[in-house]
Amino acid sequence: MVRLFTEDFSIGYGEELIVKNLNVQIPDKKVTAIIGSNGCGKSTLLKAITRIISHQSGTALLDGKEISKENTKTLAKKMAILPQTPEGAAGLTAGELVSYGRFPHQKGLGRLSARDHEAIDWALDVTGTSEFKYRTVDSLSGGQRQRVWIAMALAQETEIIFLDEPTTYLDMAHQLEVLELLQTLNREQERTIIMVLHDLNQAARFADYMIAMKDGKLVKAGSPDEIVTTQTLRDVFQIEAVIGRDPHTFKPLCMTYNLIKGDQKHEEAIHPAYARTGSYH
């Protein structure tokens, strides 16, 4: 089932188009990872779909309605966004910042209800940030701050969560914690997760569906097995890669060798089996 998709979606700054006539579908109740090289339009796409920036032409639709024309509060009950470099937390405690995620659910004078406090405490707990509730966000480390911002997005309790590089500033253990949390939210609560990731193996491991972009255009979309292939990685990143299989998840595992330069062909020099199949199994 697809509730969220774009049609001929173009986004730019001034006369320069960053995303060009993009047609993508986001599977409902799945984890989707968007991959591509720096500057290909991944973050720009997320910002435009969630109305942080305007698009130039085409449309993004949710449940058959143009997102750009939706009421802000109504839309905020359906979609949450964690930008790549969130701002605006100066002087706030972690608990206060996370409480901002409850804005779409507040009525009247905007006072927090018992249900709001419950959602805030849950979000702090699952992100491992409860101990920072009364500390200012400014006093936290980069990784701690990132987890508090993620808690704010979770406190919004939306059906769809967009995250732009959610593992930024996090060490390896906390990266896994965050990605496993998002996967759990998807599996247990059927949240639709859309995230931009730079780590291809993390994307393949945690995503059900992947979107590969280059120069503002869609290169390919599909399952990790369909995207993490030698040909797609050549097309998207201009690299020669050995594709194996994760022994624990059985998802494709990429081991990059080097950049493609000119008409050089590296596969024969890597391994005869790889040259024939493009993978080691």
- Under 8 Å between Cβ of 23 and 9: yes
The predicted structure's pLDDT at residue 260: 80
The predicted structure's pLDDT at residue 149: 92
Cα gap 136→128, rounded to integer Å: 16
Domain locations in the chain?
Answer: 88-157
Q: Output DSSP code: residue 129.
A: -
The predicted structure's pLDDT at residue 272: 45
Cα gap 194→122, rounded to integer Å: 21
Residue 160 backbone class (left: φ over 0; alpha: ψ -120 to 50; beta: rest): beta
The predicted structure's pLDDT at residue 275: 46
Q: What is the pTM of this model?
A: 0.87
> What are the structure tokens assigned to 125, written together?
């707990």
> Block means of pLDDT (10 residues each) for the chain, length 281 residues?
93 90 97 96 96 95 95 93 81 94 83 94 94 94 88 94 91 90 92 96 98 97 97 93 92 84 51 46 47
Residue ranges of alpha helices (H) inside 133-265 are 142-155, 172-189, 200-206, 224-227, 230-237
Vertex 221, ends 47 and 212: CA angle to 5°? Answer: 55
> What are the structure tokens assigned to 180, written together?
């496993």
